A and B are shown apart, each in its own frame.
Chain A
Amino acid sequence: MAETSGDRGFREGAVAVVPMAVAVFGFGLSYGVLARAAGMGGVAPVVMSITTFAGSAQFAAASVLQAGGAAATAALSALMLNARYLPIGVTVAPWLRGSIWSRLLHAHLTVDESWVIAAEGTGRWNPRVLLAAGMGIWIAWVLGTIGGVVFGDVIGDPARLGLDAAFPALFLALLVPQLRSTERTTQVAGLRIGAPPPVIAALLGAAIALTLTPFTPAGVPIVAAGAACLIGLRRRP
């Protein structure tokens, strides 16, 4: 597997994930506080962090429950926000060659942050880095949730601490290194645009997401934005 998945290993993944794990611990704290305030109790939010393991989806489910929404609405909004993991799973699949249990473990540990850290560029992913980074994020997320549930009264309102803005800031820090490309122009629908394909995909993705936000349930705009990657579709030879 080494010749196709780069030179980085488990250790490199574990080192690369540390700064993000610290940030994710902070998000876990704020999730624990909000979930408890939403009436989810102390145990359910922690079990959800262990099993669902997806930040934005868990925040969405908690906010629906807090607003008195039905179980189906809360679960559906969480799954909508996680729908992006279907195409994300397809991108890492070629590099996961272990047993079914190994593939399930790697799939569970695939979140935005570990997926980005494990990317080797040109559509390749490193499974050892994915495993290490995913474990680091998972531990931080679960411990953060426990901390938030237990110490919620001390922490207070996470919005007052600006933690909701830390979320997009982390994604922006993950996005910027992905904007580099060896190609300087993008061919879209017969037009040649003077910007690299990742920049066009990012701008298009953001535009789709913001345009759909007022009209669709949460999660739909993000999945639809993923369609911007289709500008990279090669013509059939």
Chain B
Amino acid sequence: MSTVWVVVIVSGVGTLALKAAGPVLFGGKQLPDRFTGVVGLLGPALLAALVAIGTFADGQHLVLDGRVLGVGAAAAAIRFRAPVLVVVIIAAAVTATARAIAG
């Protein structure tokens, strides 16, 4: 079997196992009270990490490039309550413009 298909199968099976472990093992069961505050904060923690990595990381390097301007413009659009799709388009357009100007 080719390398590509090994990757497709292993990542497909592994990802479903990661996603389904909780629902299969704990489906319908309430988590202990101590953890109710924790699960509500997982979203902010993970999303902020994805924003930071998506803006500054290039592989294992931290860089400042056109994405910073794009995400900054997106932040301003969110501040003025722009719809999600407008926010995403502004980020892409500003980044693409910055790259075009920088050559």
Contacts and interface: CB of A to CB of B under 8 A. Distances in A.
A174 interface: yes
B46 A226 contact: yes
A185 interface: no
Contacts of A234: 33-34, 36-37
Interface stretch (A7-15, A80-88, A142-150): A80-88
A206 B83 CA distance: 24
B45 A228 contact: yes
Contacts of A58: 11
Range for the number of chain A residues in contact with chain B: 35 or more
Q: Is the interface of B mostly helix, strand, loop or mixed?
A: helix
A135 interface: no
A221 B93 contact: no
A132 interface: no
Contacts of A75: 6-7, 10-11, 14
A176 B48 CA distance: 9
- The winner among B15, B75, B95 for most chain A CB atoms within 10 A is B15
Interface in B40-56: 40-56
A33 interface: no
A108 B93 contact: no
- The winner among B5, B18, B26 for most chain A CB atoms within 10 A is B18
Q: Is the interface of A mostly helix, strand, loop or mixed?
A: helix
A44 B4 contact: yes
A155 interface: no
Nearest to B54: A168
Contacts of A141: none
A139 interface: no
20 contacts: A19-B85, A22-B85, A23-B85, A23-B88, A74-B3, A86-B21, A89-B21, A90-B21, A91-B22, A91-B42, A94-B29, A123-B37, A164-B54, A166-B70, A169-B74, A171-B50, A175-B48, A206-B52, A227-B45, A232-B41
Closest 7 CB pairs of A and B: A168-B54, A89-B22, A232-B37, A169-B91, A162-B95, A225-B49, A165-B70
